[in-house]
Structure 1
């Protein structure tokens, strides 16, 4: 395939490698080193490098490692929009207009370059999700979805049509997640239905499984724990066994069993998650919402064990919080850190350590990053402190009322 027939990013990957005098096997070694993988098949990665340089597939999971290995900014190497920084609305609209202009200049209704950029945008949104207010991210997702809908109405090949459906499915799923965080139930239901339909038409079982897993999370926050178990099992049935959706659905099942107080089932689920997570390498962008990694396994174990009232929750929760607060463990993830503080607070209350529990709960409530769909978790700790008749209970309840006041309208009712 000539340079003119390959995507620009594929041409750049080969040019950067050859400029350094590296063969494909050496490139594979450097990618593994840049990604921090303790293991990996050089032969398999070498074959993938050949496919990437020919433009057959985009190196989605290895883009960051490529940038590190070459010492070139990822945005420059792949010409990917810096969505993780989420520019303001005007800048974002300009980016969509630029994408539309490039599409028209290529004299195509869709085109490979447009699809590649949209697929990268989906990843950037998923990476931005843990650290971005859901209402802000939702605005960006909705604008992009609108653009995708326009493209679906145009002429395209069957392959282009399927790729657009997949992009639309991921965007609809992420929109549903934002609506759920904002406790906008009707909108979340509609978005999930749309995502499931696109997944069906595109024959994409992973998106279908994530739809069921998201429904399971909603059922869990609603207190319908048995339905959460059923939905989690359904997601595992649909999901590819090697996918992040399968691991996440297994973890979600364990959390639902914990809320039901079913200890044997809870520990079985946790053991299954541990076995699934053990061989997983740490991804170069662990904050990606739809990519499971070993750190998420510990976080889910901490939550599950704290809900079960298991004393082993405390060391898990401490490790998770220390990792999230370490500058050496990737970019800040304040929303996950706030949840980890609530997990540790519950564990400490079970271990009769209320002083630290109160302090951590105050910190989580005052962080300003708890989304409305997680307010009930703070309320649960507040109610547990009140049940102990601690003198700090009144102040903690007042802080929680302040959280509810500044939060989105229509959140879940307070506990206690």
Structure 2
């Protein structure tokens, strides 16, 4: 069986992550086309051929795909085969391992640990489905190494690497709302952390569960999990600080102002003396600037007017070239924080405009859809005409993917 080209896989991924059938995609392509396309059945046949790699899209359809998905031609149809890249990544480590004396070896472990850091640093700028593929390949490699000869120290380092990779995979699954897979990954990460006696991974597992509960509207459960993460994680570690932030968010959603501000104060006390890490974009390393983002989110959920100033600062930082460069995915999420804060200060017009920018960016992940719907509901309550355009844009881009969302949208 011939291998499906990488661009065909990317076309299929972009469609399925929006929850569209091939018929839905045909409608969307017709909407963005400059001319009347052939009848739907003809377009669907083209889409089917494109996604199975039978025919590469011609210039017209390639442009339509790029326009619809908000991606460059290089990003969508570049000649770099993602699977080949993944294989090269692993093969480079494997070649170094075979040059060593043992089945694992110091150099292999160091390169594997560097790869784990690279993957965690890629999280803010990489679509979760794409990153998940890379993480799974590295997990497969860790499993192979665990079956080989190794010292006790090498065995523990492999367990730690596997724990971080399982945790990152769980995070991607939650972004994609693939909750059973996420739960399995979190259980594995927790077990590896237990075997390796590595409590920070254990703390991150509970914090990640708290984040998922928060996105599902289970605020009391999120608060309990966040506090459990703080009990497990090393004091003042990144997991401990992040869990404190999740606790503050949960209190905010429950409308508990005193408890919310107490959590924010604890975070500020911990992060104020911290230096900026070498890789601030690393998902599992807390940096002082992250506290601003958490403050913006938390205060916006609490309805505090001060959230507007924080949210504007965070958005400007995420779009700047400083501190690790622009982080477009986080910036899209930060726009939702700013929009919710603007609603609380009775500025629904700007809130709607900011949310439309986030929606049209194509960078929001499924775990953020409920936040968009909350802002849309707030804009609609003010009876603005812009609400119609905003809701229609949301339905076109994300509507079908959000059908599984909980209907509860407010605290």
TM-score of the superposed pair, with normalisation by structure 2: 0.78
Match of 2:119 in 1: 125
> What is the RMSD of the two structures over their aligned residues, measured on CA atoms?
1.5
Matched, 1:367 2:367: no
Give how far 1:388 is off.
1.6
Could you tell me which residue of structure 1 aligns to residue 283 of structure 2?
289
Taking a change above 3 Å as real, the CA distance of residues 126 and 136 of structure 1, as seen in their structure-2 partners, is same
Gaps of 5+ in 2: 1-79
SS for the counterpart of 2:213 is helix
What per-residue deviation string (whole Å, max 9, x for no partner) do you get for residues 7-46 of structure 1? Answer: xxxxxxxxxxxxxxxxxxxxxxxxxxxxxxxxxxxxxxxx
> Are 1:351 and 2:345 matched, yes or no?
yes
Distance (Å, rounded) in 2 between the aligned partners of 1:221 and 1:405: 17
1:230 aligns with 2:193: no
Q: What is the CA deviation profile of residues 102-142 of structure 1, one whole-angstrom value per residue up to 9, with x for unaligned ones? A: 21221311100000000000000000000000000000000
Instruction: Determine the C-alpha separation between the residues in 2 that align with 1:406 and 1:329.
Output: 36
Determine if contact 2:349/2:379 at 8 Å carries over to the other structure. Answer: no
- How far, CA to CA, are the matches of 2:87 and 2:400 in structure 1? 29
Separation (CA, whole Å) in 2 of partners of 1:108 and 1:243: 33
2:377 maps to 383
Q: Gapped runs of 5+ residues in structure 1? A: 1-85
The 5 A counterparts of 1:48-87 are none
Could you tell me how far apart the structure 2 residues matched to 1:252 and 1:258 are?
Answer: 10
Mapped to 2, the partners of 1:335 and 1:383 lie a distance apart of 23
How high is the TM-score relative to the length of structure 1? 0.77
Q: 1:102 maps to which residue?
A: 96
1:198 aligns with 2:192: yes
Residues 1:412 and 2:377 are matched in the alignment? no
SS at match of 1:291: coil
SS of 1:343 mapped into structure 2: helix
Contact 1:184 1:410 in 2 (8 A): no
Matches within 5 A, 1:297-308: 297-308=291-302
Q: Distance in 2 between matches of 1:410 and 1:192?
A: 25
Which position in structure 1 is the counterpart of 2:209? 215
TM-aligned CA distance change 1:411 to 1:329, over 3 Å: farther
Q: Deviation string for 1:184-238 (max 9, x for gaps)?
A: 0110000000000000000000000000000000111111100100000000011
Mapped partners of 1:159, 1:328: distance in 2: 38
Residue 323 of structure 2 is aligned to residue 326 of structure 1: no
Give the equivalent residue in structure 1 for 2:262. 268
Structure number with greater CO (CA < 8 Å, separation at least 6) is 2
Query: For 1:90, what is the secondary structure of its paired residue?
Result: helix
2:241 paired residue number: 247
What's 2:164 paired with? 170
Matched residues in 2 for 1:87 and 1:169: separation? 28
Aligned to 2:145: 151
CA distance in 1, matches of 2:99, 2:319: 46
1:325 Cα deviation (Å)? Answer: 1.7
State the alpha-carbon separation in 1 of the partners of residues 190 and 382 from structure 2: 45
Is the Cα–Cα contact under 8 Å of residues 183 and 410 in structure 1 kept in the other structure?
no
- Counterpart of 2:306? 312
